[in-house]
Each structure stands twice: as C-alpha cells, then as structure tokens.
Structure 1
C-alpha cells in the first residue's frame, strides 16, 4: 500500500491541506484496492486557518512515507519552521517522492530540494521564490512541474491538478478521471506545460449533446467528421458547433481529437497493443498520425508515455478484452 504523508505545522493554508486530505485520505478502495495509506504528520496539535488539528504522527514519520505532500505555507515573508524543513529533507533523502502545493514550494526550496531544478508556485509569489532561492529556476506560467522525485504546483486549483497527476502516475488515467468526476473537477486544464491528462466527457444530463457524445465514444475507430456528427444530432454543422462550445468548451473536431487521444492513453496504459493497432482503434489511421497528434497534445511520444505509466506491473489484457468500442 502506497503511503502518503501530509506534513502540517501552524500556518498552513487550509484549502490545499483539505484538498490533499480529500484526494489521498478518502476511502476509494472501490476504485483501487488497496488505495493509499494516509497519515497526517506534525509536531503536535496545529492551527490551520481557524481550525485546530491533531496529527496522527510526528514529523519524523515523514521518513516512512512513499510520498510526502507539503501544503501551502501562509506567511511566505517568514522562513518556514526549521523542524518542518529538516523533516521534509530527511524524507526525500530516505527515498520519498515530495510534492508541494502552492506556496509549499518555499519549504522545498528551503530544504534545498529545488536547487538546480525548475519549479513553480502561486503566481503572486514566484518573484519572491526566485529572489530568495536563486538556484531554483522558477516558472510562473505553468500549473505544475514534475521533476520525478520532486514536484511543485501553482496555487489553489492547480494543486488539484498536481494531486490528480500523482494519482494518475500511481493508478493510471482511468482511475484519475474517476476521482476527478467524484470531486466534480476536470482532469485537465490548459496550461503552459504539457500534462499527462485528458479532457473528460461531460456528465450525462439534459443538454442537446447528451445522446450524441456517448454515440461518438462507441465509434472512435471510425473516420467521423463534423458532418457525420451534425447528421446524427439532426442539426446543422454551425448549430452543432454552438452546442459543443456551450457543453464542452471547445469545437467538435477538437473534442473528437481529445477523446481519441484519451482512448489512446488508456490503451497504452492498459494493453500491450502496438501503436499501429492503437492508431486504428482510435480512428487515427496510421501510427505516424497518432504519434504526431499524441506528441503535440500530451508532450511525449506514445512509446514514452507507455513506459512512464508502466512503473508498476499489472496483468495487461488484450485490446479486444478492454476495448468495447
């Protein structure tokens, strides 16, 4: 069971702290069993915003975790507590993956974990982070930065992007998307950094595309066009485009391409199918076309994506076992 520890002291931001508790501390064994083992680690009872919290263990327990989450630090004008900085550094030296949410990056920087690396934090504090820690390459334009064993996120909602990214790394695309739906947040937001995430299908509801979208998802292997979609929906192409913008926030073709990429991600993670086979199953036609669109959208080629998300070994079904489209 993957052990996630949340490092808390007085002065943490309660939004980011609660967000991490919700993602990693909830019982989601109906999705993945085992889910995460979650521990709140602090020096003793701590005050977070207007709330008083009793940690499960001391800060020294961070060294037993597989992943350590550092929430936002409220007063960035003050140095973070030395005991917190030391404990986070020790956890990383012990082999933990360390991630900061929002201004938690100041804790990681103080621990020396960001020296020589690219990092981010809330846009309002990027200049201060760069000033105080000149060995850190601070990028103010991205939602989060993944350096492998050290990750940083921008502020507030971007912290959710990073948490979902961690879930995706540990449990795969499908599980991360289900978690996002449960929290009523999108698994993907546009940002300056290519992310291993995808745009979800809108939830079923009373909208003009409620019947069309599931129909399309069952036919991603077919060469669908806007005209095909408009004909199926019984409306003009222009009328269809207006509804797509209202429901999905994008155009019919862009939405269709995103769903093809999303399906390709699932097949790369969950099957041993070749890139050629996946290209056919997703309606891309050829491996060359798939590689071009996949690399541009996701940021890495399909083969690299597959290796990244196979850091854990599970039985791989055949394409026909997993693909019901």
Structure 2
C-alpha cells in the first residue's frame, strides 16, 4: 500500500493539514480496499501547536518519513521573528530521511520549505499568488509559475493556496489510479475532481466604484445565448459600455478576455450535454455554440485532453452505473470529468 506521510510543523493550518487524510484516505479500489495509508507526524512525535486555538496530537515522529512513498507538507503560521524560508536543523534532518524516488508535495506557502531545502532548484513550481513575487526573489533558481493551481514536476509537486491542495491531491489519485477512482473520491468528498483555470481568478483586483458598472449582467445574458455566435460589440452593448471599457473591466473582474471566457463556458456546456444527454456530437457542437463537431473536438481536447467520444464514453459509463444504484436522500453528485493522465489514448 502506498504510504503518505503528512508532516505537521509548529503553527500548522488545520484545514490544509486535513486535506491529505481526507482525499487519500477516501481512495479505495472497486472492492473497497484502501489504496493509501496516511500517517501524520511531527518533528519529535509530540503535540503540535496549530495556527488555531488548539494543539494537534500526532502519534509519529520524523522517523516515519523514511518509510514514505509520498511526503506532504502543509503550510504553517510563522512564529515571532520567523521567516517563511525557515529551515532549522531538525527540519533539514527530517527531509534528508526521504528515500530516493519518494514524492514530495507542498501545499500553499510550504513551498518555502522545499525551496529552502534546495528541492526546487532548477524546477518549475508554484505557491500562493500573494507570495509569488517574494518567493521568486528569494529563490531565483526556482522557475515560479504564479498562474496555475498546482505544478507536477514528477517527484516534486507544489500547490497554490489552500483549496489548491485538494486539487493537487485529487490529481495524484488520478495519476496513481485513473479517472474512475478519482471521480469516486471526488463524489464522496463532494469536491470537483478537476477545476479549470488558474490562480488569476482569485487574485485581488480593483473593484469598480459603482456596482452597476460591471460585466456580470452581460455574462449572465451570454450564458443563455451560447448556442449562437456572440460578438464583443454585442456583449459590450448589452453592458452599455464601449468595447474598450468592457474589455478592460471584463479582464479585471474575470481574469481572462471575453473570448477566452466564452470558449470556456462553451466547453462547460458541451461537457454537460455529453455527460447528461444522448445528443449526437454534431448537435452538442451546435447547442454549445461551436458550430461543427470538428471545432468542438478541437476545444474539448485543448480544454480537458480528450475528444468528445472518449469523454462521453468515460463519463457516461460512470454516470449510468451511478444511476443504477438505489437513490438515497441527501445524496450529492459532482457531475464533472477528469481527463486521464494519458490523454485518453
């Protein structure tokens, strides 16, 4: 069984500490056998002070890191006078216990620990968008990508802030065991198996002085018109703005251009139709506003990594099996698809 060790450091954030246990601990094969063993450790095996008003009791010390197939480091609040690139001797010694070939994962600003240990030198990595500039200055050998939710660089993986830790753990389940098991974990945890977009949608941006002077109404209107061609001037006119003003405010509010947003929404519409209807692919393309099956295929491959036929076959199989199960009150289903690591080949 794949062993995941979660290293809780002083000041650990409780939510991020719980992510690996929840995601990996939920993963099981078709017979219900767990696929991961998750252990939580501290540097000395004693209680670990969290960033909240309670202390976490851990049963293991740093010696279990030597047995880890994957080591996950959640972020922590810095103590007085402590910098984020904190790497005292006990922590450095703990990281040196890692076996060759073991994976190392950081969530949010725990990327500072990996960088301070030299594990990110020459590698692509990410961190919370609010720390990206400082992080790059501090560690110039790291190729920081501030726009993504996580980076998979083989045996070293980094996630952006908070919930991106969920995205990265879901990605690892999918990478290890495929889309079907990852989708099942997502449903049980009531989280999306995959989130489109990067950190741009979460970066703080100036809010228009007047609530009415936004593009939200135009976006809501456009969602009902996706089946037909939409011109930028038409969207701007609906918002009662010039094209130039509309384009600028749209990017400020959404983090992408109107054209990129429309393409993303059309892909989402096509995914829902492929998942929930038996419409021919040509008709799905028309309903989603792509016009032709060829255009739909191009956008779907670019967006989720597989063509419409593979997408439908993979998701509809899981959907039909789900519908055949007895219904239960309060059951929540997350209707989303995760592209398999091999691109569906």
Judge same fold: TM > 0.5, yes or no.
yes
Deviation at 1:18, TM superposition (A): 1.6
1:161-240 equivalences in 2 (<5 Å): 161-192=167-198
Aligned 8 A contact 1:261 1:294 in 2: no
1:88 is matched with which residue?
95
Q: Deviations over 1:168-221 (max 9, x none)?
A: 11222122222222222222323249xxxxxxxxxxxxxxxxxxxxxxxxxxxx
Equivalent in the alignment of 1:254: 267
Q: Work out whether residues 73 and 106 of structure 1, in 8 Å CA contact, stay in contact via their aligned partners in 2.
A: no
Inter-CA distance 67–260: structure 2 relative to 1 (3 Å threshold):
farther
**CA distance in 2: counterparts of 1:111 and 1:252, whole angstroms:** 41
Tell me the distance in 1 between the aligned counterparts of 2:264 and 2:145.
30
Q: Which moved more, 1:71-80 or 1:147-156?
A: 71-80
Residues 180 and 318 in structure 2, CA contact (< 8 A), matched pair in contact too = no
**In the superposition, relative to structure 1, how do residues 171 and 287 fare at CA in structure 2: closer, same or farther (>3 Å)?**
farther
Match of 1:124 in 2: 130
Larger radius of gyration: 2
- Residue equivalent to 2:63: 60
Partner SS, residue 168 of structure 2: helix
Residue 100 (1) aligns with residue 133 (2): no
Change beyond 3 A, Cα 1:4–1:128: same
C-alpha separation in 1, matches of 2:154 and 2:125:
12
2:152 matched residue in structure 1: 146
Q: What secondary structure sits across from 1:90 in the alignment?
A: coil
Superposition deviation, residue 103 in structure 1: 0.8
User: Deviation per CA, 1:114-144, whole angstroms, max 9, x where unpaired?
Assistant: 0001111111211222122111111211111
Q: Which residue of 2 aligns with 1:314?
A: none
Cα RMSD (Å) of the superposition?
4.0
**Alignment correspondent of 1:73:** 76
Aligned counterpart, 1:11 = 11
Partner Cα separation in structure 1 for residue 92 and residue 273 of structure 2 = 44
Q: Secondary structure at the match of 1:188?
A: coil
Deviation at 1:28, TM superposition (A): 5.0
1:33 match: 33
Aligned-partner Cα distance in 2 for 1:37–1:132: 35
Task: Give distance in 2, aligned partners of 1:9 and 1:291.
Answer: 46
Structure 1 residues 260 and 127, CA gap change in structure 2 (3 angstroms): same
Partner of 2:50: 48
1:23 aligns with 2:35: no
Q: Within 1, Cα distance between the matches of 2:159 and 2:6? A: 15
Contact 1:4 1:68 in 2 (8 A): yes
Query: Residue 63 of structure 1 contacts residue 96 of structure 1 at CA under 8 Å; is this kept in 2?
Result: no
* 2:267–2:299 Cα contact (<8 Å) kept: no
Any stretches of 5+ residues in structure 1 without a counterpart? 194-224, 228-248, 264-278, 306-317
Question: What TM-score do the two structures reach when normalised by structure 1?
Answer: 0.62
Residues 152 and 158, structure 2, Cα contact 8 Å, conserved in 1: yes
Corresponding residue number in structure 2 for 1:206: none
Q: Could you say what secondary structure the match of 1:38 adopts? A: strand
Q: CA deviation at 1:80?
A: 3.4
Query: Which residue of 115, 120, 137 maps to 1:109?
Result: 115
Q: Which secondary structure state, in structure 1, belongs to the residue aligned with residue 141 of structure 2? A: coil
SS state of the match for residue 95, structure 1?
coil
Matched-pair contact (CA < 8 Å) for 1:66–1:97: yes
Find the counterpart in structure 2 of residue 275 from structure 1: none
User: Does the aligned pair in 2 maintain the 1:180–1:186 contact within 8 Å?
Assistant: yes
